[in-house]
Amino acid sequence: MVRASRLLAGALLATGLVVTGAGAALASHGPNGGGGSVDPNAHPGQLKAQITFVKRPAHPWNSRITWLAQRQRADGTWKVLAQDSWRAGSGLPGGSATNSCVKGHGWLPNGRYTLRQYDDYAGNLIHGRAFRLADKRCANGTLREQLFIHTEAAAGNGQCANRPGDQICRWEFPRINDYTSHGCIKMSPADLLALTRDYHRFFRPGIRYSTAKVSLLVG
């Protein structure tokens, strides 16, 4: 009887963790069914969400960005409320796209970032929907600044007129590879809108929440 109980406990532990990400674990959550017991350390109803940028060194401009929102149950497990995934890119061509210590050229350093979401960011180069990320130092100590998740759009989230050449106010993929960036994360306008809508289900624009509530994980 004791042996059977131990085997059952082992089976439950083996199925109690789901891991997503590239290489090392980037996110984890408990089983979707819940165990029904009560965990005195749990905070039932607590919400947490994570955006994850999964780098693809062989294809920097065909990497993935995912969204996962969860709510904790009384037994300590986490119920998945929403999850989604889209194409995203980061870095510029020329040999340094995957070097996170090259300012204005390489993709983002690995790690966790706080973020602030804007419905219509009014920057010099970036307009429309965007997530402003915290600054972060790369492995050699270089400080990476002015980091965003964004697209190419005009003010008000519109698209400017189609003219020759690459325009920062118009998404022109696949004629032009608009997934390239000066180190930010780039998404198509439609995909960024989908991510923003997912975010708005649980969080408000213009607020920088703690990483315990919502964050970006790059890896």
pLDDT tens-digit map of 68-88: 999 999 999 999 999 999 999
Q: Would you place residue 202 in the very low, low, confident or very high pLDDT band (cuts 50, 70, 90)?
A: very high
Q: Would you place residue 15 in the very low, low, confident or very high pLDDT band (cuts 50, 70, 90)?
A: very low
Q: Which residues contact 68 (CB under 8 A, 6 or more apart)?
A: 20, 27, 29, 49, 50, 52, 80, 82, 83
The Cα 197–Cα 117 span in angstroms is 11
Residue 180 and residue 91 in contact, taking contact as beta carbons nearer than 8 Å: yes
DSSP state at residue 7? H
How do residues 151-178 score in pLDDT, each as one tens digit? 999 999 999 999 999 999 999 999 999 9
Specify the pLDDT at position 26: 46
Specify the pLDDT at position 18: 34
- The answer to whether the pTM exceeds 0.85 is no
How are the residues of the chain apportioned to helix, strand and coil, as percentages rounded to the nearest 5?
15, 30, 55
Residue with tokens 């059952």: 8
Interval 2-28 mean pLDDT: 37
Which of 4-13's residues contact partners 24+ apart within 8 Å by CB, and which partners? none
Q: Would you place residue 32 in the very low, low, confident or very high pLDDT band (cuts 50, 70, 90)?
A: low
Q: What is the dihedral of CA 12, 14, 16, 18, to 10 degrees?
A: -160
Query: Average per-residue pLDDT in the chain?
Result: 88
Start-to-end Cα distance in the chain? 45
Interval 138-158 mean pLDDT: 97
Specify the pLDDT at position 34: 61
H/E segment holding residue 10: helix 2-14
Other C-beta atoms lying within 10 Å of the C-beta of residue 6 = 10
Q: Give percent of the chain with pLDDT exceeding 70.
A: 84
Closest CA to 181 of 126, 122, 142, 113: 126
Is pLDDT above 90 for 53?
yes
